[in-house]
Amino acid sequence: MALFIHFFQNADSNLRMLLTRHLCYSAVRVRFAPSPTGKLHLGSLRTAFYNFLFARAHEGRFVLRIEDTDQTRLVPGCAEQFERILGDFGLSPDESPVSGGDFGPYTQSKRLQIYEDAASQLLESGHAYPCFCSSKRVEMLRKAAARSGALPGYDNLCRSLDPSEARQRLAHGEPYVIRFKVAKEPVDFQDVVYGPLSQLMEEGDFVIVKSDKFPTYHFANVVDDKAMKISHVIRGMEWIASTPKHVQLYRSFDWKPPTWIHLPLITRDGSKKLSKRDADAFVDFYTKDKGYLRLAVLNFLIRNGSGIRNFEPNRLYELKQMIEQFDDTLIGRRNFMMDHESLEFYGRQAFRYESFETLLPEVLARLEQDIPDVNPALKHPDYIRKVVDFLLNHEEAFSMLSSLTTGEFRFFFAIPTTADGVLAKFDPEVARTLLRELLDSSTWNLDSLKAIAKKHKLAYPKLFNLIRLSIIDSSSGPPMSELFEFFDRSECEKRFSHMIELIAKRTNV
């Protein structure tokens, strides 16, 4: 020890800082603890991300624990999907239901014995008691409180039950829950982001074990954080209201609570909390629906620089750089704003930054999802590289892959399926004659196209519009010269002939 102190005192300041940091955080273990009740929420991804950054920045362990004790809300397959999504984002946990670890099982429904033992401990020490009140009575109390404008809660009736009566009722198999005796005094605790907090719990003794013998969230969460040696609890600030319950549970067991780090709310405009009804509240919206690259979504989640040292707002960070510059003492209280403009910005940057090897599987997966019957030749890496190069060279605003399969650039992979666009602007006979003439013309350059337009007494931009509509089913989009350059003559001929057929089908001629 003396040797270490000597070494420490003589080390240079950088090394001293590193050693101090290492000693303070020597056993960092953090966890992401979602309930598998549906699609992954953007806020949950942010929580997982910050836990991951924290673990990596402090050389700790990142744990995924599935909190499935509310069996009524369970969605099958959801837990596995969460873990897959984390992996896709590059945030794979070190310990989890799939990868295992020294503190498993990592799914709460497989740990029931642990909670039962912990509850017995609290019953024995007098911190908890069995409650036989029917759900009807509890509901009545809730309604009465609502009528009088009071806080809903339990009136602690069974707390004063004679122990021998309680034992008798238990022996008779009467249904019961286990409640925790809540302290009358306010509970004080320290949060890294929100500072010292003090909260009086007025809703009475809360349930820790339900009548189905499953623990409640609060109880299982605390018991597991302790059992899994979680050093820091990093989660959304909506959990601050539950923290006094957790702090009291820790005290009743005589356990040291973890360090609390609550992250500010995710809002649309700085104040209103994001609603679960909003499509963009879920991760799927960004990845599956819109096709933003995952690096763009991660940058979006740190867009206000919270927790990043020397944050530069107009820069796309790689995950590695985020880890290097992560500093939890810089996590601010300012609510996160869903600013879709910055998402667009990061979407554009990420598309430009990512390698073709990263983009290729993303594009193929989108094709599989949106255009399953795509011509196999168009799935060839060489063709996809040609498309990507086109976008990089000509489309500065390109930001999300969905526009390749369901939006304005779908034409790269699918030919027009209706003649509606053409027929809205052209007489069917005129359109067909012009398209046939194009097929017959041996060259397509400005002069030859102008000559065809002139022959039919048409302003040449109108002919260009017909060409665009026949190739890409839109009057806007890349200039015609770029389209001719991209598609070879045979592909254009194919699309012109196809349009002639579509017109024939629509007009029955």
Stretch that binds ligand GLU, among 29-37, 131-139, 376-384, 391-399 (CB under 6 A): 29-37
Residues 343-402 that bind ligand GLU (CB under 6 A): none
Backbone angles phi, psi at 126, to 5 degrees: 80, 10
CA distance 150 to 173: 34
Q: Between residues 35 and 335, which has the closer beta carbon with respect to ligand GLU?
A: 35
Of residues 143, 213, 256, 276, which has the active-site annotation?
276
* DSSP string of 374-431, one letter each residue: --GGGGSHHHHHHHHHHHHHH-TT---THHHHTSTTGGGT-----SHHHHHHS-HHHH
Q: Between residues 79 and 308, which has the closer beta carbon with respect to ligand GLU?
A: 79
Q: Between residues 32 and 390, which has the closer beta carbon with respect to ligand GLU?
A: 32
Q: Between residues 222 and 367, which has the closer beta carbon with respect to ligand GLU?
A: 222
CA distance 353 to 164: 71
DSSP state, 282? Answer: B
Residue whose C-alpha is closest to residue 288's, from 84, 62, 79, 77: 84
Residue whose C-alpha is closest to residue 154's, from 213, 236, 216, 247: 216
Residue 455 bears catalytic tag? no
Stretch that binds ligand GLU, among 31-39, 144-152, 385-393, 479-487 (CB under 6 A): 31-39
Q: Which residue has the tokens 């019957």?
A: 373
Q: Between residues 32 and 426, which has the closer beta carbon with respect to ligand GLU?
A: 32
Residues 204-223 that bind ligand GLU (CB under 6 A): 217, 221
457: its two tokens = 């007494």
CA distance 202 to 206: 10
Q: Between residues 115 and 129, which has the closer beta carbon with respect to ligand GLU?
A: 115
DSSP state, 285? Answer: I
Distance in Å, CB of 395 to ligand GLU, minimum: 39
Distance in Å, CB of 48 to ligand GLU, minimum: 10
Cβ-based neighbours of 224, under 8 Å, separated by 6 or more: 33, 65, 108, 111, 114, 230
Distance in Å, CB of 320 to ligand GLU, minimum: 26
Contact 412, 482 (CB under 8 A): no
Distance in Å, CB of 32 to ligand GLU, minimum: 7
CA distance 120 to 114: 10
Distance in Å, CB of 82 to ligand GLU, minimum: 10
479: its two tokens = 């200039």
Stretch that binds ligand GLU, among 17-25, 33-41, 359-367, 372-380 (CB under 6 A): 33-41
Contact 30, 94 (CB under 8 A): no
Distance in Å, CB of 203 to ligand GLU, minimum: 18
Q: Is residue 213 left, alpha or beta, with left meaning phi > 0 and alpha meaning psi from -120 to 50?
A: left
Cβ-based neighbours of 125, under 8 Å, separated by 6 or more: 252
Distance of CA 131 to the CA centre of its chain: 39
495 contributes a contact to ligand GLU by CB under 6 A: no
Stretch that binds ligand GLU, among 27-35, 72-80, 324-332, 453-461 (CB under 6 A): 27-35
CA distance 376 to 28: 49
Q: Between residues 34 and 421, which has the closer beta carbon with respect to ligand GLU?
A: 34
Question: Which residue from 30, 33, 391, 419 is in contact with ligand GLU, where contact means CB under 6 A?
Answer: 33
Q: Between residues 67 and 83, which has the closer beta carbon with respect to ligand GLU?
A: 67
Q: Is residue 12 left, alpha or beta, with left meaning phi > 0 and alpha meaning psi from -120 to 50?
A: beta
Question: Which residue from 30, 35, 265, 467 is in contact with ligand GLU, where contact means CB under 6 A?
Answer: 35
Residues 137-196 that bind ligand GLU (CB under 6 A): none
How many residues at the interface with ligand GLU, by CB under 6 A? Answer: 8
**Sheet of 187-191, strand order:** 61-64, 29-32, 232-236, 259-263, 187-191, 195-199
Q: Would you give the binding string for ligand GLU spanning residues 226-265, x where CB under 6 A is met?
A: ---------x---x--------------------------
Question: Which residue from 48, 54, 62, 67 is in contact with ligand GLU, where contact means CB under 6 A?
Answer: 67
**Strand (E) positions, 201-337?**
206-209, 232-236, 259-263, 266-267, 336-337
Distance in Å, CB of 239 to ligand GLU, minimum: 5
Contact 153, 145 (CB under 8 A): yes
Question: Which residue from 29, 34, 230, 347 is in contact with ligand GLU, where contact means CB under 6 A?
Answer: 34
Distance in Å, CB of 488 to ligand GLU, minimum: 54
**Residues contributing to the site for ligand GLU (CB under 6 A):** 33-35, 67, 217, 221, 235, 239
What residues are annotated to the active site? 276
